[in-house]
Structure 1
Amino acid sequence: MHCEFHPAIDHIAANLWDALNVTRSPFLSHAFLSAAERCGAVAPALGWHPAHLTLHDDSGLLIGAQPLYLRTMSFGDFSHDWAWARACQQLGKDYYPKLVCGVPYTPASGARQLIHPAAERASISRALTDATLQLAAHEQASSVQYLYLDDDATLRATLAAQDFLLRRGCQFHWHNAGYASFDDFLATFNADRRKKVKREQRRVSDAGLRIEVRHGGDIDAALWQAIYPHYVATFVRFGNHPAFSIDFFMEVGRKLGRQLVVFLARDAANDVVAAAICYRSDDTLYGRHWGADADYHSLHFALCFYSGIDYCIREGLQHFEPGAQGEHKVSRGFEPTPTWSAFHLADPRLRGMIGDFLQREQAAVQQYQDEMAEHLPYRKAE
């Protein structure tokens, strides 16, 4: 086996990369990663330096791969390590560069190593991780970060064997219990919470708004022109940078087709007044971006949560991950769910400090998750 690092995802054939993406994650698709690089979201000016890793066997067959980035800042990777960078400085060390295996601007759990289904997973996983650590040493990176891991037991065992530290987070996810309809789902709520949801839905319809669903292949340039300002507006309102350009969305919409899902709200004049941009795999819907022209009462809940749940039920999807943060999701049926990332720190002093912090943080996150679970809207008998 031999490894190669690539300064652009387009240096790797799309069909070969996508053949390893067996979970059909939209975020690990060649189309998503390529558009992010070529449309300016993943660029040196924003601290992203691609170093994607591929592993071939002796016959030249691609048997493993990792999305990989040398980072010169933490903006956009959702590692939440700003305080660690300051601590590293206090030790007289440079925190950047660091090496990140993850998806740009996307705190969604998923596969981080793409492995050929016929290959021996443990050896491939170890070879990919070894190569990653070797690159980190060569670049004098402070750390290697595998962000937002899925339940891949092989990768977790590999990381544990190589002294990675695990970090626990908490998001709020919806899970499909075989519901026949949105009303069937709502019937599991207690009476008070069920009335509130129906009231929120009514407020949207009473405002003269209607919601429609579009997939990437159904959205032309003119409709993207109507959608895109809503994406930008939310970032501007909170003083953040909207990394993805309209060209990015037009490209991924065209290439991903039904894997990109947009929920639109139109007013009586048929104008688009709000949009929620989502992605989907074969079993999960991922909420990513939302924005509206004005503060329509309850529209955020109806467009970003209830429309997504209804879509999952109709499409037979098993999970809905509406994005990071948001305790208001709990009362609407989204359960507190742990997320996991893994970190390898080169400096033993920094590793000791962060290891101690992570132990205390994990206990606090577990307590928070337990407290949030007490506020779920489901009937107690359920």
Structure 2
Amino acid sequence: MTYRTGVLSSLADAGAPAWSALLARQAPAGEPNPFLSYAFLHALHESGSACADTGWQPQYLALWDDTDEGSELVAAMPLYVKSHSYGEYVFDWAWADAYHRNGVEYYPKLLSAIPFTPVTGPRLLARDDAARATLVAYLCAQQQAAGMSSTHVLYPPAEQAAQLHEAGFMLRSNVQFHWLNQGYADFDAFLATLEHKKRKNIRAERRKVREAGVTMRRIRGVDATPADWRFFHRCYRNTYAEHRSSPYLNLDFFQRIGATMPHNLLLVVAERDGQPIAASLVIHTADTLYGRYWGAIEHVPCLHFETAYYQPLEFCIEQGIATFEGGAQGEHKMARGFLPTKTWSAHWLAHPAFSDAVERFLERESGGIEAYMDELNERNPFKD
């Protein structure tokens, strides 16, 4: 079958109905990944958080099936021209440095990912296998024609990583930490499954927050007010300020998703003496909760764990949500019941010598990841 191809500089060129219909096909038995939704991606672009000016120039690949009855978007791929490697969470700074030291340009590069979001999800959106195979071929043709140094596909599901590997991409693995709901009746039932020391430490951390006079309030997205979003963004900015860096996301972005996808959002606000002092934002579907952003304007011991982990865990148990993805990195999550989970990325480098060097590096790194996974699993926080 022959498809019409195109490159989208804005999701508006596809339109929300067509994009949403294609995304729905990726999860026929459940709710689509919220980070691939038109609302989330369009908010990133239109707010100026991820755009050409910030080094994230959208160049989405798209395929249409044109018939007498009309035109259908049958495949698409989130794709950006990147002028840096910030906001990716799969680190290639050493590769860029090696290019620079040898007088070869590494940027711009092509990147398929959700900006600032280390969450696994489909990157090859397609109506069927034939459209997906054509999309991969289109990607390979585009990366050759564009003259970019490289193409990187971050956090695809394992089956899509394998398909990209067959198309000539090198695979890289990493580790995240996810919590799995075993049908716990309540938070105490979850604690009862942990080793005694882990259980005792969690109770002590929660007690410190209570004894500091802090109370917690959960606000569903549909109930969040403009003042709630302004305070959360203040906390979010403060986190970056404490690390002497600039925040990726602006208030306009959070206000946009608050208006367009409120059913996927939960704010957790910590208060003392009736005044908010900290907040976290998680994004969720009926099946999965994703820990995303956190910040505070006042330091309280253990408040981060309460706001960003224990309150969302309680929410998962109450709502029957099966998985809590804790985000990038963080071995400390294991002590709180999160288990290691392998993630994937796929990489193509145009320069033959650098491609060979990176391939050898990835082979060595892969062995290290496997050993690391074995070590982590030996430190399982649950009772035998």
Task: Work out whether 1:14 is the aligned partner of 2:16.
Answer: yes
Matches within 5 A, 1:100-119: 100-116=111-127
Runs (4 or more) in structure 1 with deviation over 6 Å come to none
**Structure 2: how far apart are the matches of 1:89 and 1:199?**
49
Give deviations 1:106-136, integer Å, cap 9, x for gaps: 01111112222xxx32x22221122122222
Counterpart position of 1:249 = 254
Secondary structure (helix, strand or coil) at the match of 1:16 reads helix
RMSD (Å), alpha carbons: 1.4
Q: Is 1:215 aligned to residue 223 of structure 2?
A: no
The reply to whether residue 133 of structure 1 matches residue 137 of structure 2 is no
Q: Distance in 1 between matches of 2:356 and 2:57?
A: 28
Other-structure match for 1:330: 334
The answer to whether the 8 A contact 1:227-1:272 is kept is no
How do 1:371-382 and structure 2 match up within 5 A?
371-380=375-384
Structure 1 residue 221 displacement after superposition: 0.9
Are the aligned partners of 2:52 and 2:58 in contact in 1 as well (CA < 8 Å)?
A: no
1: CA distance between counterparts of 2:266 and 2:126?
27
What percentage of aligned pairs have identical amino acids? Answer: 37
Give, in angstroms, the shift of residue 156 of structure 1: 3.1
Q: Give me the whole-angstrom Cα distance separating, in 2, the residues matched to 1:320 and 1:53.
A: 31
Amino acid at match of 1:88: Y
Question: What's the secondary structure of 2:63's corresponding residue?
Answer: strand
Q: Distance in 1 between matches of 2:169 and 2:43?
A: 31
Q: Following superposition of structure 1 onto structure 2, how do residues 1-382 of structure 1 map, counting pairs within 5 Å?
A: 1-22=3-24, 23=27, 24-59=32-67, 60-116=71-127, 120-121=128-129, 123-151=130-158, 153=159, 155-268=160-273, 270-380=274-384
Q: Quick check: 1:125–1:158 contact (8 Å CA) kept in 2?
A: no
Q: Tell me, which stretches of 5 or more residues in structure 1 are unaligned?
A: none
Superposition TM-score, scaled by structure 1 size: 0.94
AA aligned opposite 2:10: A
Gaps of 5+ in 2: none
Give 3-state SS (helix, strand or coil) of 1:93's partner. coil
- One-letter amino acid of the structure 1 residue matched with residue 77 of structure 2: Q
Does the residue aligned with 1:322 lie in a helix, a strand or coil? Answer: strand
Partner Cα distance (1:42, 1:318) in 2: 30
- What do residues 164-214 of structure 1 show as CA deviations (whole Å, max 9, x unaligned)? 111011111111112121111111012222111111111111111111211
Give the C-alpha shift of residue 81 in structure 1: 0.5
Shift in Å, 1:240: 2.1
Query: Amino acid of the residue matched to residue 12 of structure 2?
Result: D
In the superposition, the TM-score normalised over structure 2's length comes to 0.94
Q: How far apart are the structure 2 equivalents of 1:178 and 1:337?
A: 20
Paired with 2:186 and 2:206, the residues of 1 have a C-alpha distance of 15
Equivalenced residues, count: 373
Taking a change above 3 Å as real, the CA distance of residues 224 and 185 of structure 1, as seen in their structure-2 partners, is same
Contact 1:331 1:375 in 2 (8 A): no
Aligned to 1:21, the other structure's residue is in SS state helix
Letter in 1 for 2:145: H
Alignment deviations for residues 212-236 of structure 1 (CA, whole Å, 9 cap, x no partner): 2112221111121221110001111
Determine if contact 1:168/1:362 at 8 Å carries over to the other structure. Answer: yes
AA matched with 1:125: R
What is the CA–CA distance in structure 2 between the aligned matches of 1:359 and 1:308, rounded to whole Å?
A: 37
User: Given that residues 171 and 338 in structure 1 are in contact (C-alpha distance below 8 angstroms), is that contact kept between their aligned partners in structure 2?
Assistant: yes
Q: 8 Å contact 2:279–2:307 — kept in the other structure?
A: yes
